Structure 1
Amino acid sequence: MLRRALAFCVCALMACAGPVTLAAEVVQLKMERSDESVYLSAAVRFDLPTVVEDALLKGIPLFFVAEADIYRDRWYWTDKRITTATRTMRLAFQPLTRRWRLNILPGAISVTGLRASLSQNYDSLSEAMTAIQRISRWRIADAAEIEAASRHNVEFRFRLDLSQLPRPFQIGVAGQRDWAIAVEESRQLLAEPIRDIPLAPDLTREVTKEAVK
């Protein structure tokens, strides 16, 4: 009886739980610093489910969002958020050329629009996904915002933005595990000095300062 009761409780808890997130992990997270800026490099690992790939092949673009928050420790209160940086990556299949187009936008799609994006075409989906899953030297903050005498932490998040899917499609995929692609990682900001910064037009002003008391 006791075993049955425990099994029933476990099933009930699983039924009440929210949608299960698809297995994804941050395999690399590194911060670097120049005299003017703080940069983040990251690598995210996950497999694109078949149903998601099928949606791409049917002409539905996908939007992946990377976000980075920097917090300053405060012993007397909650940590203060210093900056927030957002990058949106739009992936779409082009049937006529059989190629994959990736647009990288500085900020949220609702704010910047595709006109502010940096675009690249790929011959295969795997090549495009590799570009999405690897972020190199992304400018996330001004160096002046980081106080040398204070401890800072970085919260990095990566997700598939379902809110950008067509409205009827959003209803159909809500709660489905294959579409719940998300991962986050927190780490103390120990930025290594950097000497050479590659020029990246259109992607160098991605920082939104938010003073949070």
Structure 2
Amino acid sequence: MAEENSIFYTSGSVSKEAPGDSPGVYVNASFTIHLPTAVEESLRRGVSLYFTTEFSLLQKRWYWTDKNIASRSIRRKLSYSLLTRKYFLGGEGLSQSFASLEEALSVLGSVRHWRVASPRAVSGPFQDYSARIRIQLDKSRLPRPLQISSTDWDMTSGWVSLPISPTVSAP
């Protein structure tokens, strides 16, 4: 059951975009999300699931703990409507509907062109920085009985290191 109850990292990168409308440090990442049977059944019965995507950019320091340069998070809500028989994914002021759970989970597991820091946040060679990301189910947003009932609800990718493009360093 633990294999079924997981979020897997598939790909990702951190890059610095060229100056334009909104220059900065951007993240792209993909995760594969598998819902356990009990979680999927609860979703279809009206329990909304909240997932949080967290990102941290750290500057490596040999003499002290790494310095946190930027931290960002996004919370998304996945729900199912019994009336329309569609899945809804909302967050950051946007809402999308999907005919299948697989489509909704695919979009939920994708982070595209997410601005996480200003262009001035990174200075020096890219080897001096590390980036990490994770997605997890926010159990605190579940109904109280589900928060304590089962390990099926412990869903997280864990922290994953992201590769940083060499062009992230400032000239």
2:75 partner amino acid: T
Of the three residues 95, 101, 109, the one matched with 2:88 is 101
Residue matched to 1:80: 67
Of the three residues 107, 121, 136, the one matched with 2:97 is 121
Residue matched to 1:152: 129
The superposition leaves residues 167-202 of structure 1 with CA deviations (integer Å, 9 ceiling, x where unpaired) of 2221223xx1x2221112113532657xxxxxxxxx
2:44 partner amino acid: L
1:33 partner amino acid: K
SS of equivalent residue, structure 2 residue 106 = helix
2:101 partner amino acid: L
Which ranges of structure 1 fall in alignment gaps of 5 or more residues? Answer: 1-19, 106-116, 194-213
Change (3 A) 1:50 1:78: same
Residue matched to 2:41: 54
Q: Distance in 2 between matches of 1:191 and 1:33?
A: 9
Residue matched to 2:154: 180
- Count matched residues: 160
The superposition leaves residues 83-141 of structure 1 with CA deviations (integer Å, 9 ceiling, x where unpaired) of 10101110011111111111023xxxxxxxxxxx2111111111111110111111111
Say which is worse superposed, 83-92 or 96-105, in terms of deviation: 96-105
SS of equivalent residue, structure 2 residue 102 = helix
Residue matched to 1:143: 119
Q: Distance in 2 between matches of 1:192 and 1:70?
A: 15
Q: Does 1:67 align with 2:64?
A: no
Q: Distance in 2 between matches of 1:37 and 1:118?
A: 22
Asked whether the equivalents of residues 155 and 187 of structure 1 are also in contact (C-alpha less than 8 Å), the reply is: yes
TM-score, normalization by structure 2: 0.85
The CA RMSD over aligned residues, in Å, is 1.8
Q: CA deviation at 1:161?
A: 1.0
Q: CA deviation at 1:163?
A: 0.9
Residue matched to 2:144: 167
SS of equivalent residue, structure 1 residue 78 = coil
Q: CA deviation at 1:142?
A: 1.0
Percent of aligned pairs with the same residue?
31
